[in-house]
Amino acid sequence: TTSTPLSDLSPDQLAERLTTLRADYADLQGKGLKLDLTRGKPGSDQLDLSEGLLRLPTTHLDRSGTDVRNYGGLEGLAEMREIFADLLGVDVDRVIAGGNSSLSMMYQVVTWLLSHGGPDSPRPWSKEETVTFVCPVPGYDRHFTMLADLGIEMVTVPMHDDGPDVPSVRALVADDPSVKGMWLVPTYANPTGAVTSAEVAAELMAMPTAAPDFRILWDNAYAVHHLTEVETKSADALALASASGHPNRPVVFASTSKITFAGAGVAAMACSPENKEWFLKRLSFAAIGPDKVNQLRHVEFFGDADGVRAHMRRHRDLIAPKFAAVQDALRSRLDGLGVATWSEPVGGYFVDLNVLDGTAARVVRLAKEAGIALTPAGSAFPHGNDPDDRNIRLAPTFPSLADVEAAMAGVAVCVELAAVEKLSAT
């Protein structure tokens, strides 16, 4: 590999490089790969860590003697709520344990804000001319597609290493009452891996907003998903919000989807007492109770929050090598070329790759034609629109280590090839 920035190459050198890369790419295509780095799914070895769940629970009675097989218990089992409270660093009274999907709980919160408004809303959000959300980018595609489907407008702000750009957020929310909410993945953000600092969190919770019912949907999906021994604590959104007089602003979400079974875990929500009463009231018209059998199964499996933390270290042992392989592949081909930067996450499920402006869609297409499926370019932006066409989200957990190595070596070729094509054309 060369470490000369590609932009310093002469036209002849670029032409030579292009010839070499086309040969590399032809070799890559010749391998007949069929690899997939698209979605943040646990590998089957990770799912195997929780196989014991399939033989639980051993009883149908919870701690209080309630028969979990029957209806009821809308806020979830106390012992399940205690585990989430400990993991999220919040008071157990604030927690609701639900079904298998935190995304569904987020959807319920947003749709019920639209249909009914929150406890502090002047009227249902759907009665407003427009409803707008602040969206840190790059972000989680399903957050954005949910809002797009519900007709909610999105405005973007940059996501930094310590959280969203506070001055941009402040400017958007200060005077416009139609700006009703904001997404945030505070710990090991999807896809950048950023951890929102306590300082940034405090500012977001305290900032003045024109809307009296402004919500920060604090999606802490990766709160305990550390990739190193440093087990970073999330900022305490609920306490910061209460302290600054906006107790209803944050709604915290989490789940065991990437702890036990992605399709059969337990989701949770934590919020102010007023928000909780509001949510449980709406929920009472939609459900008679959650799957308490699954909650009890999880409680027996883990015992307590430390059981979850120990379990997460076993996940780490399985996936940290895959994240290391991504770094190795990118570094060994692209270091010093000046055509790509990427995150080095210490937690979560993704690596965020920024390629030469204007080449992300080309990279994804080149990869596809070599049998490597990547998330569509732009998917980490509202409406799939990355204005710089440079962002690609890599998800290395699902394929085997050998497949991650093969796929990433291929991706690196595609990144360099697309860059050299672009530089040669200009």
Please state the closest distance from residue 107 (CB atom) to ligand PMP, in A. Answer: 9
**Nearer Cβ to ligand PMP (28/147):** 147
Binding residues for ligand PMP, rule: CB under 6 A, are 40, 101-103, 140, 185, 190, 219, 221, 255, 257, 267
Among the listed residues 178, 201, 205, 182, the one whose alpha carbon sits nearest the alpha carbon of residue 121:
178
**Nearer Cβ to ligand PMP (142/331):** 142
**Nearer Cβ to ligand PMP (112/349):** 349
Please state the closest distance from residue 248 (CB atom) to ligand PMP, in A. Answer: 21
**Nearer Cβ to ligand PMP (21/254):** 254
**Nearer Cβ to ligand PMP (101/126):** 101
38 and 374 in contact (C-beta within 8 Å)?
A: yes
Among the listed residues 288, 227, 223, the one whose alpha carbon sits nearest the alpha carbon of residue 89:
223
Please state the closest distance from residue 191 (CB atom) to ligand PMP, in A. Answer: 8
Please state the closest distance from residue 290 (CB atom) to ligand PMP, in A. Answer: 13
**Nearer Cβ to ligand PMP (254/366):** 254
Task: Give CA–CA dist 311/8, Å, rounded.
Answer: 49
**Nearer Cβ to ligand PMP (185/237):** 185
Handedness of CA 419, 327, 404, 222 (dihedral sign): negative
Task: Give CA–CA dist 246/168, Å, rounded.
Answer: 20
Please state the closest distance from residue 251 (CB atom) to ligand PMP, in A. Answer: 13
Angle at 89 between CA 194 and CA 247, to 5 degrees: 90
Q: Beta partners for 35?
A: 372
Please state the closest distance from residue 225 (CB atom) to ligand PMP, in A. Answer: 10
The bridge status of strand 372-373 relative to strand 250-255 is: unpaired
Give alpha helix (H) positions in 31-157: 44-48, 78-88, 102-116, 141-149
Please state the closest distance from residue 318 (CB atom) to ligand PMP, in A. Answer: 18
Among the listed residues 190, 187, 99, the one whose alpha carbon sits nearest the alpha carbon of residue 142:
190
| 422: helix, strand or coil | helix
- Please confirm whether the linkage preceding 57 is cis (ω < 30° from 0): yes
| 118: helix, strand or coil | coil
**Nearer Cβ to ligand PMP (156/190):** 190
Task: Give CA–CA dist 290/99, Å, rounded.
Answer: 6
Please state the closest distance from residue 31 (CB atom) to ligand PMP, in A. Answer: 29
**Nearer Cβ to ligand PMP (102/192):** 102
Please state the closest distance from residue 404 (CB atom) to ligand PMP, in A. Answer: 18
| 392: helix, strand or coil | strand
Please state the closest distance from residue 228 (CB atom) to ligand PMP, in A. Answer: 19
249 and 214 in contact (C-beta within 8 Å)?
A: yes
**Nearer Cβ to ligand PMP (128/162):** 162
Handedness of CA 310, 315, 318, 323 (dihedral sign): negative
Q: Beta partners for 269?
A: 96, 253
Please state the closest distance from residue 141 (CB atom) to ligand PMP, in A. Answer: 9
Task: Give CA–CA dist 219/241, Å, rounded.
Answer: 15
Give alpha helix (H) positions in 119-228: 141-149, 166-174, 198-206
164 and 158 in contact (C-beta within 8 Å)?
A: yes
**Nearer Cβ to ligand PMP (40/89):** 40
CA 312 from chain center: how many Å?
Answer: 17
